[in-house]
Structure 1
Amino acid sequence: MGPNPTTSELEIAVAAPSSSVPTADRRTRRSSFYPWLVFALAFALLLSDYMSRQVLSAVFPFLKADWALTDSQLASLTSIVALMVGLLTLPLSLLADRWGRVKSLVLMATLWSVATLLCAIASSYEQMLAARFLVGVGEAAYGSVGIAVVLSVFAPRVHSTLSGAFMAGGSFGSVVGVSLGAVIAVHLSWRWSFAAMAVLGLILVLAFRTIVTERRLAEHAATDDTAESARPDEPAIRVPVSTLFTNPTVWCAYLGGGLQMFNAAVLLAWAPSYFNRYYGMAPDKAGAVASGFVLLIAIGMIVCGMITDRVGRNNAAAKWTSAITYCTISLVSLGIALQLETGASQLILLGIGAFFAAGSSGPTAAMVAGLTHQSVRASALGSLTVTNNVLGLATGPFVIGILADRLGLLGALQLAPLVYVLAIVALFLGKRMYPAGLAKLAAQSAAAAAKV
């Protein structure tokens, strides 16, 4: 038996294409304008996704006054969307992998846009709740399927950058949805806030449906890390869905990605209250300052993804190191900041911590994409979305709220950065197992090809 292959050899073996299409032709297609058009349209739809989701927060005061709603009823209109996303992301991602990603994206975006329009004409709390339920169903798997479509037309060397930028779209969309929705509600009415988001979504659906097709995506497909680009006369290679959960290295990426979102979610939810209570800011000013930190989180996701792609250009394992580094910087910055008195020093460290808070999002998405077969990639990214929601976006604000009732908000926030320790452990183990993960992927791909 010969010596064990090195990590680099495994990466080359997994990435090696078997298609007869000349390399020069592939390079021409990858360098064309079309992939960036796909990214722009998919990113625009993601903005529409979060604008439709978060515009509700801007009209809370109007709904409360018009329908005499309680705070728990208002909260249920928000939580129903998150609940549907958590429950349906994985099954809908699996369905999209089988039925067709472009058709699935068009159907999803149409559903959430029409549902947002139904919010605009709702005449009661019950009707609004039903419409928001449909918004959640439509948005459930868009993030995972959308990024899978984007990554399919770009080379692996830019996957971390694109993943970070795409996922940051959620933060940008939230800021735009709340701010624009509030302006429209004040000058027109809260119904027009929903209507504007719905119309924008439908326009983008039409543009996406016209320009992005499965055929054109196949023509511009980049050389895949995991699977071969089959010739038209060859049957498609598919691996079992179970492969999403049988590679321990992928599990490390899932867990690391979800845990590193914990503090980003805490900042998104509790920063306005923190500035209101401890800096004595009025609610509107506290919200404005907090939105600046939200933008820092979004910008950090993009920049950290770009840095990761550069350092991991010749060694994919370096992406794990980058993710660990971002978590460590945020752990130290936020940990020290929340021990300081209020003031400029604390704000600077909070800003640094926010910038790197979700910086590992792009690298972990790229790791998941690089360790799973192309035929189940949307499902794999859907699994990552589930862990992001379960371990981070949903759990973070809820846990800090419970702790705040006992320790005060500051005391609870001081404990939050410790979750990064768990994320770092998961990512460190993933880095150690990365060569074995690549070997596992190669074996899965070979087994699937042998059955064709």
Structure 2
Amino acid sequence: MKPFASDAAISRPKIPGYAWVVFALTFGLLISDYMARQVLNAVFPLLKAEWGLSDGQLGFLAGIVPLMVGLLTCPISLLADRFGRAKSIVVMGLVWSAATLLCGLARSYDQMLAARVLVGVGEAAYGSVGIAVIISVFPKHLRATLTGAFMAGGLAGQVLGVGIGGAVAASHGWRTAFNAIGVAGLVLALAYGWCVRDARISGNAGEERVKLSWAGLKPLFAGATLNCAYVASGLQLFVAGALPAWLPTYFVRYYHLPLAKAAGVAAIFLAIGGVGMILCGVASDRLVKTMRDRARLSAAFCIGSALLVAAAFAVGTGLPQLVLLGLAMFLAASTAGSAGSMVAGLTPAALHGTAFAVLTLANNAFGLAPGPIVTGWLADRVGLLGALQLLPAASVAAALVFYAASRAARQATA
């Protein structure tokens, strides 16, 4: 299948100031989204001690949010495309922020699980709708860069959620950590509703309303290249989901660090992951011109990730492991920008919100949801180190699917 707009034909118009306002607010809410999601990981040791939880139960608390995202992202994104993306984003932010406050009020594992389900409901379509809003107000030649930068906001949120959450929890208790992040999210959601209007973002995009029919949605799954991009992106994010969830606990158990210091060290590695996501997205924009080349570059990123993760957890604790782990984190989410650019280039603009919802579904179904859950389940059986040593298998699988995407792209343009 040929892309809807070839890279060679893309013009480079001036970027309006309003676009940067939209980007800043949407990026800020994404940070809030992931802070609400990841603050839990910083307090794993406290919850384990207070409620006597297993690693499997902790992993399920972390994984239930991306699981709900995977289940609900497509229907909610489709409704957002139909009835207004900006209004939908405000509602999402209010829901996940209120649910985060409920996490701080939880008195048992079951109550915490119910609150985490609501966090997932609120966050379900934010990533897909948010990036659709951003690419609607920016030129097409910045798609991979913007996708990588926007998704790096997720890792920035993880950094802040783990770092700030761990520090606040260590000094004021884990409930205060949830409450602080919940209040900040409510403020950002209200600010977004004040500044961003559907009329302005839809006007810039020149899009038609989505027709709620199968015929209108068929372009979302048209062609092997597009479908492989969905699956491969999700498989690589298995690593990007597992490492942020378990690194704070890993540093507590194997480096014998106190909680606040372990969370701070883990936050540094998550920041490295965010930098890698952005720079790899920029590299995809600047170094490649075709869908085939984007897929091949993504496959190379996946192989690099597999080798570095394997090496990091093969050596013992110490400086060499930390260096290798930093390099591994740099590539953990390296395919986000190129995969997002492939999806945007292979689907019509009017369906970009729903197209990114399908990508989000794949990312969560194959990676972000099972990553922490499966790792926690394995940790109960083979230890946390043994579970982390199995992560490279996901990256190898992702590389194979990206390679299949490159072959399909070559055949489509032959």
Common topology (TM > 0.5): yes
Rounded to whole Å, the distance in 1 between the matches of 2:322 and 2:176 is 37
Out of 220, 223, 227, the position equivalent to 1:251 is: 227
Rounded to whole Å, the distance in 1 between the matches of 2:311 and 2:280 is 21
Give the counterpart letter for 1:430 in structure 2. A
Shift of the alpha carbon at 1:279? 4.3
Deviations 1:102-159 (A, max 9, x none): 1211111122223334445566766555443322211111111111111112222211
Shift of the alpha carbon at 1:188? 5.2
Secondary structure of the equivalent of 1:415? Answer: coil
Pair 1:152-2:127 in alignment: no
Shift of the alpha carbon at 1:333? 2.3
Q: Contact between 1:321 and 1:431, CA under 8 Å: does it hold in 2?
A: yes
Q: How does 1:113-192 map to 2 (within 5 A)?
A: 113-120=97-104, 128-185=112-169, 190-192=174-176
Out of 212, 216, 233, the position equivalent to 2:200 is: 216
Secondary structure of the equivalent of 2:94? Answer: helix
Amino-acid identity (%): 48
Q: Contact between 2:148 and 2:337, CA under 8 Å: does it hold in 1?
A: yes
Q: Contact between 1:102 and 1:212, CA under 8 Å: does it hold in 2?
A: yes
Q: Contact between 1:368 and 1:380, CA under 8 Å: does it hold in 2?
A: yes
Rounded to whole Å, the distance in 1 between the matches of 2:252 and 2:149 is 30
Shift of the alpha carbon at 1:253? 0.2
Secondary structure of the equivalent of 2:357? Answer: helix
Q: Which residue is 2:245 aligned to?
A: 269
Q: Which residue is 1:346 aligned to?
A: 321
Q: Which residue is 1:324 aligned to?
A: 299
Deviations 1:274-304 (A, max 9, x none): 4445445455544433322221111110111
| Count of residue pairs the alignment pairs up | 409
Shift of the alpha carbon at 1:61? 6.8
Out of 394, 400, 411, the position equivalent to 2:369 is: 394
Secondary structure of the equivalent of 2:366? Answer: helix
> Unmatched 5+ residue regions in structure 2?
none
Pair 1:360-2:335 in alignment: yes
Q: Contact between 1:97 and 1:378, CA under 8 Å: does it hold in 2?
A: yes
Distance change (3 Å), C-alpha of 1:71 and 1:107: same
Rounded to whole Å, the distance in 2 between the matches of 1:393 and 1:147 is 18
Out of 79, 95, 109, the position equivalent to 1:111 is: 95
Deviations 1:361-414 (A, max 9, x none): 111111111111222222221121122122112223333444445554444433
> Unmatched 5+ residue regions in structure 1?
17-22, 222-228, 440-452
Rounded to whole Å, the distance in 2 between the matches of 1:122 and 1:280 is 28
Give the counterpart letter for 1:54 in structure 2. Q
Shift of the alpha carbon at 1:429? 1.5
More deviation, 429-438/181-190 = 181-190
Secondary structure of the equivalent of 2:391? Answer: helix
Rounded to whole Å, the distance in 1 between the matches of 2:58 and 2:387 is 25
RMSD (Å), alpha carbons: 3.3
Rounded to whole Å, the distance in 2 between the matches of 1:107 and 1:128 is 22
Distance change (3 Å), C-alpha of 1:118 and 1:247: same
Q: Contact between 2:158 and 2:244, CA under 8 Å: does it hold in 1?
A: no
Deviations 1:399-447 (A, max 9, x none): 34444455544444333213222211111111222266689xxxxxxxx
Q: Which residue is 2:185 aligned to?
A: 201
Shift of the alpha carbon at 1:168? 1.7
Out of 222, 236, 246, the position equivalent to 1:260 is: 236
Q: Which residue is 1:69 aligned to?
A: 51
Q: Contact between 2:343 and 2:355, CA under 8 Å: does it hold in 1?
A: yes
Rounded to whole Å, the distance in 2 between the matches of 1:252 and 1:192 is 42
Which structure: larger Rg? 1
Shift of the alpha carbon at 1:63? 6.6
Q: Contact between 1:250 and 1:437, CA under 8 Å: does it hold in 2?
A: no
Q: Contact between 1:324 and 1:424, CA under 8 Å: does it hold in 2?
A: yes
Give the counterpart letter for 2:28 in structure 1. A
Shift of the alpha carbon at 1:12? 4.2
Rounded to whole Å, the distance in 2 between the matches of 1:97 and 1:392 is 25
More deviation, 182-191/167-176 = 182-191
Secondary structure of the equivalent of 1:359? Answer: coil
TM-score normalised by L of structure 2: 0.86
Rounded to whole Å, the distance in 1 between the matches of 2:271 and 2:127 is 19
Distance change (3 Å), C-alpha of 1:83 and 1:166: same
Secondary structure of the equivalent of 1:266? Answer: helix
